[in-house]
Structure 1
Amino acid sequence: MKLITLTAVAALTLSSFTFAGADCPKHPKAEWLKEADAKAKIEGMGYKIKKFKVSGECYEIYGHNKEGKKAEVYFDTKTLNVVKAEID
């Protein structure tokens, strides 16, 4: 019984990690916007960045959108198109 419970908990945990990220298109690193340029352009879109990081093939920010709402947003590293956004 314990093994079944542990297996179920592990499956639920792994499935939550699967949905946590975004599926950004893959580009060669040489084609990625430089992080400083990406940050400046993202801020130019109206986002206030608290945290900026590379997440797989995406640039990811935690901060606020132009309406002041909390935002977790994933951007394409080459075009800065929004791939996924979670706004609270």
Structure 2
Amino acid sequence: MKKTLLLALLASLASTAAFAGAKCEAHPKDKWIKEADFKKKLEADGYQIKKFKVDGNCYEMYGKTKDGKKAEIYFDTVSGKPVKSEIGD
């Protein structure tokens, strides 16, 4: 029982670590798209934002796509282009 629980815990941690962070290019803060403006753009594109934050040099969004799929996406802070994403069901 303990061994099964430990294996399940390790598998969970490994899957979480596999998607940890993204490597976004560092840009001067005065060049970044304003957070409020970028969030409005995402919402206009159909995203439902549950959580939005700065993660290192990236904007990170948790929520849903316009198709209603669960999404975790890292964006470049100047271009707004996705750098890394995980889209679920």
TM-score bracket for the superposition, by shorter chain length: 0.7 to 0.9
The one-letter amino acid of 1:38's match is: F
Distance 1:82 1:67 in 2: 17
Whether 1:70 aligns to 2:74 is no
Which residue in the other structure is 2:5 paired with?
none
The percentage of counterpart residues that share the same residue type is 60
Distance 1:48 1:84 in 2: 18
**Structure 1 portions without partners, runs of 5+:** 1-8
Distance 2:62 2:52 in 1: 7
Q: How many residues align?
A: 75
Distance 1:29 1:42 in 2: 20
TM superposition score normalised by structure 1: 0.77
**Structure 2 portions without partners, runs of 5+:** 1-9
Q: Cα RMSD between the aligned structures?
A: 1.8
Distance 2:77 2:54 in 1: 9
TM superposition score normalised by structure 2: 0.77
Distance 1:50 1:31 in 2: 25
Distance 1:66 1:27 in 2: 29
Shift of 1:46: 1.7
Matched residue SS, 2:52: strand
Which residue in the other structure is 1:86 paired with?
86
Matched residue SS, 1:20: coil
